[in-house]
Amino acid sequence: MNGLSDSTGKTFVLVFPWNNDDDGLKESFLAVDLINHSMENITVDLYYNELEFIERDIILRPFHITITIEEMNYRRHIFSKAVVYKYIYGGFNRYPDLRIFIRSSLPINVLAYSFVEGGSVLPEDMAGKNYALTLPAPLVNSGSAIICLLPTISDTNVNLTIITSDSFENYYIGLKVEANRDVVIYSKKESFTVYANGDAPFHMIVAVQNLPVSPTSTITDFGMLMVPPTGLSTDDSGKDDTHFSHFSTTKSFLITPFAWTKSSFEIVGTNGNSSWHSVEGGRKQNTHSFNSSNFGIECAFLSRSNPINILRYGGYGLYSDGFEGGAFLDIIIGDERMMKTVYFDFALPCCFTTLEYYGKEAYYLVGSVSEGFHTFMAGGKYIIIVSGEFNNTAFGYVPVLNRRL
């Protein structure tokens, strides 16, 4: 990224999926961080409903909150659990309107959290018409994989395909943009691949309850993500696609090609090792496991035939690997111009490491940071990934994003 990211905007919409069922050990925590990058004070308006049950009736209580944010600062707004509809049933269903609308006087970035899991909320003008991804399975008989569909600028019709190991489901769904209309949610108690195409831009929020920290683990957490759109149709092919990742917090990857054709990709590691793999579009995708013993601590995924979507998931080495707790600035990776002009909290960091692939060079830096507001500036292009652990719960996200070109 360079300058303001595409995920900086003035209008946002989101909904919180229900986290893991309360176990009495953790207090539910639903919040948004509203981040002001500008050199002047701004105002942000939040519009949302809270859910109340009176006998057998469902009542929506409207709220409007105005928040002032000082220059180069942020404010956190905490919601009650009444902004989440707990009882999610299998398949497609419509639920009371618990969308949260955010309107800012100047462009801001928004991060959303359910307990500590969450990530970047994309502005409405970054919504897309096409999505492709695979969700991992929750722990058997203890949770669901969830999709929430949110229209943005207009009513939207969505063609949605759900693919599992033994089923192929097609749906045609109408989404209404006006307030106090139903929210459409799909839920399934297993892993599935989803392709979604709309006639107008919409957002997709996904979540997995009781998500195992690895495919073989019984230790679970909660995962939530607002999915970036593909920016392409599922018929697009022949485009180069590069993704960077690391192995310090996860070794599990779900890779979904945009097109319904076979796609090959190469993984290249910092230790010089590489290997080729293939995935077939239009099918249920399975978890790929890669680790640092084969590729080093960082890697690049390179697709030369068909753009791919990569969903990472996993834990933070809880109970065993001894990773440092607290907030963790996990990886900054970028080009040479970024490396020579970067400032973190207005100071020059050091110790960049080189990742070479196909005659190109990328540079990455790993380091611990404290919780709170931080600044990062650079003249070149870069990616920031944040991951950490709090109260035996892991989190990881990209705080700002750009559109696919």
pLDDT in tens, 261-288: 888 888 988 888 999 999 999 999 998 8
Q: In b/e form, how buried is each residue of 198-228, taking b as 16+ CB within 10 angstroms?
A: bebbbbbbbbbbbbbbbeeeeebbbbbbbbb
Query: Would you state the pLDDT for residue 359?
Result: 64
Rounded to an integer, what is the distance from CA 93 to the centroid of its chain? Answer: 23
Q: First and final CA of the chain: distance in angstroms? A: 12
Half-sphere exposure of 229 (CA within 13 A, CB side): 26
Backbone angles phi, psi at 294, to 5 degrees: -95, -35
Q: What is the 3-state secondary structure (H, E, C) of 19-43?
A: CCCCCCCCCCCEEEEEEECCCCCEE
Query: Would you state the pLDDT for residue 21?
Result: 55
The residues facing 262 across adjacent strands are 280
By the 8 A CB rule, do 98 and 49 touch? yes
The residues facing 204 across adjacent strands are 149, 227
Q: Is 125 exposed, middle or buried (0-12, 13-18, 19+ CB in 10 A)?
A: middle
Show the low-confidence residues of the chain (pLDDT under 50).
1-2, 24-25, 233-236, 318-332
Q: For residue 128, what are its two tokens?
A: 């897309």
Of 106, 155, 153, 154, the closest CA to residue 125 belongs to 153
Query: Would you state the pLDDT for residue 304?
Result: 74
E strand or H helix that includes residue 276? strand 274-280
Report CA Rg, the chain: 21
- CA–CA separation, 16 and 119 (whole Å): 12
Evaluated on CA atoms 365, 368, 371, 373, the torsion sign reads: negative
The per-residue pLDDT for range 24-61, each reduced to its tens digit, is 445 557 999 999 988 999 999 999 999 998 878 889 99
Query: Would you state the pLDDT for residue 175?
Result: 94
Rounded to an integer, what is the distance from CA 42 to the centroid of its chain? Answer: 26
Q: For residue 211, what are its two tokens?
A: 């998500």
By the 8 A CB rule, do 81 and 87 touch? no
- CA–CA separation, 18 and 146 (whole Å): 9
DSSP 69-85: E-TTEEEEEEEPGGGS-
Backbone angles phi, psi at 360, to 5 degrees: -105, 165
Query: Would you state the pLDDT for residue 43?
Result: 98
The residues facing 242 across adjacent strands are 302
The set of residues, in sequence order, having a beta carbon less than 8 Å from that of 95 and lying 6+ positions away, is 85, 88, 182, 183, 184, 185
The set of residues, in sequence order, having a beta carbon less than 8 Å from that of 153 and lying 6+ positions away, is 124, 127, 177, 200, 201
The set of residues, in sequence order, having a beta carbon less than 8 Å from that of 360 and lying 6+ positions away, is none
Residue bearing tokens 């989404």? 175
Q: For residue 45, what are its two tokens?
A: 């308006």
By the 8 A CB rule, do 102 and 381 touch? no
Query: Would you state the pLDDT for residue 342?
Result: 59
E strand or H helix that includes residue 202? strand 192-212
E strand or H helix that includes residue 120? strand 117-121
- CA–CA separation, 197 and 234 (whole Å): 9
pTM here?
Answer: 0.83
By the 8 A CB rule, do 156 and 127 touch? no
